[in-house]
Structure 1
Amino acid sequence: MDGGTFRDRVQAAKSTELDRLGSASLLAALTDADPTTRRVLEAAADSEHAAHTTFSRWAVDEDDERVRQAFEDVADREQEHRRRVLAALPASASGYEPHDGGPLHEYLRGREGAIHRVAAGMVGRGLVAERTHSRLVSFFVDAGDSRRADLFRELRAETEAGTERGLDLLTTLCETDGDWTDARAVAEYTIQVAYDDYVDALREADIDPAAVH
């Protein structure tokens, strides 16, 4: 197998979950059904902050030099994304401090080994983040806010590049069919964790997940 085939199979297996994570109802889930500009940007900053923390921790104990450098680069990228999102907040949110954690990053931080971490963090989370950024682009386009829409187009492109880098790493890390099977399992489960969190958030906001698409 190669990285491209791996991505295609993961996306095919989790197509429903990924489609729904990129739907308009995502913003309701992220903001307790209050998708204002401020709430949407705060949710985005929280996500970038949690990712920075996850990849920073992984970089500390990674023995493979190439993987360690990738984790450091992703951590730096997420830190920069957080800075750019915070800079885009309206003046009324001045001083907002992003929150860490959440089910997705709790799951990621429990992964051990380069294959599992790359597959879950760089590929599985990357595919989820690409959908999130696309939805945020649409939100700001609909609001007539080209500046913030362009910001999330840039973040999406940078995230997609990170996903491709993760796929390239898997091509070198996975030496057996069993390695690829393990990588696919954690990548798909990462998407499932994100989707389950999305469904739970809709229910907490008194929105029936079955009634939205």
Structure 2
Amino acid sequence: MDGATFRERVADAKRTELDGLDSPALLTALTDGEPTVRRVLEAAADSEHAAHLTFSQWADDEPNDRAREAFAAVAEREAGHRERVLDAIDGEYEPSDGGTLHSYLRGREGPIVRAAAGMVGRGLVADRTHRQVVSFFADEGDTERADLFRTLREETDSGTERGLELLEALCDSEEEWADAHGVAEYTIQIARDDFADALARTGGDPSSVR
């Protein structure tokens, strides 16, 4: 299998879940029912911060040289994203760590599983969330912030492609590709379920992301 085929198969298998995430209701879930400009930016900063910490942890303890280099590059990118989002917030904000998705990711071990879950599965989720943030700021008439998140989305997609290249280098058997496929799918499932639960807690309709 190659990376492009892997991405296509994961996306096709979780099409319903990814389409559910690609909904304006997602921002309601991410902001605890308050999708204001500031809350959207704070939620984005939290996400970038958590991702930075996840990939930094992986870069620190990953024995595979190629995977460690890739994880370190993602950690650096996510730190840069966090700072650019913080710069877009009016006033001070201290981003928070945590979340169901990153709790799951930080429990993964092995370069194949980590690349599949963190770089591909999470990358496909991030593509949808970034698109919703772009739409939010475009609807607000805030072209500067919309352009910022368009750029972050493009850079994140480049990271997803690097994850696919890493899987091509690491996977030597159909069994390893199958393991990667399973964990990438499960990452998307966790993200979808977490957002649906968060939306329900705000009094929203969880079926909009299910």
1:202 aligns with 2:199: yes
Q: Deviation of residue 49 (structure 1)?
A: 0.2
Once the 2 structures are TM-superposed, how far is the Cα of residue 95 of structure 1 from its aligned partner? 2.2
Once residues 185 and 71 of structure 2 are traced to their aligned partners in structure 1, the CA distance between those partners, rounded to angstroms, is 20
Q: Following TM superposition, by how much is the alpha carbon of 1:97 offset from its aligned partner in structure 2, in angstroms?
A: 0.5
Q: Give the Cα–Cα distance (whole angstroms) in 2 for the partners of residues 76 and 210 of structure 1.
A: 36
Aligned match of 1:180: 177
Q: Could you say which residue in structure 2 is the equivalent of 1:158?
A: 155
Q: CA RMSD in A?
A: 1.0
Whole-angstrom distance in 1 between the partners of 2:20 and 2:207 = 11
Aligned residues: 210
Q: Does 1:107 align with 2:128?
A: no
SS in 2 for 1:38: helix
Amino acid of the structure 1 residue aligned with 2:127? E
Partner of 1:53: 53
Alpha-carbon distance, 1:30 to partner:
0.6
Residue number in structure 2 paired with 1:21: 21
| SS of residue matched to 1:5 | helix
In 1: Cα distance, 2:165 partner to 2:5 partner: 11
Deviation at 1:131, TM superposition (A): 0.7
Offset from partner CA, 1:101-141 (integer Å, 9 cap, x none): 10000000000000000000000000000111111110000
Distance 2:208 2:111 in 1: 39
Distance 1:27 1:54 in 2: 22
TM-score relative to the length of structure 1: 0.97
Structure 1 residues 211 and 61 mapped into 2: Cα distance closer, same or farther (>3 Å)? closer
Paired with 2:10 and 2:32, the residues of 1 have a C-alpha distance of 29
Deviations 1:182-204 (A, max 9, x none): 00000000000000100100110
- Cα deviation for residue 61 of structure 1 reads 1.1
Give the equivalent residue in structure 1 for 2:33: 33
Kindly state the Cα deviation for residue 212 of structure 1 after the two structures are TM-superposed: 6.8
Report the secondary structure of 1:100's partner residue: coil
Change (3 A) 1:211 1:71: closer
2:11 alignment partner in structure 1:
11
- Tell me the alpha carbon deviations over residues 159-191 of structure 1, each in whole angstroms, 9 at most, x when there is no partner: 000000000010111100000000000000000
From 119, 122, 135, give the equivalent of 1:122. Answer: 119
2:66 aligned counterpart, secondary structure? helix
Provide the rounded CA distance (Å) in 1 between the counterparts of 2:34 and 2:170.
43
Tell me by how many angstroms 1:211 deviates.
Answer: 5.5
Residue 138 of structure 2 aligns with which residue? 141
> Could you tell me which amino acid in structure 2 is paired with residue 208 of structure 1?
D
| Superimposed CA distance per residue, residues 74-117 of structure 1 (whole angstroms, 9 cap, x where no aligned partner) | 00000000000000012xxx221000010000000000000000
**Partner-residue secondary structure (3-state), 2:153:** helix
Structure 1 runs (4+) deviating above 6 angstroms are none
Residue pair 2:26, 2:209 contacting (<8 A) in 1 also: no
Pair 1:169-2:169 in alignment: no
1:62 aligned partner, one-letter code: E
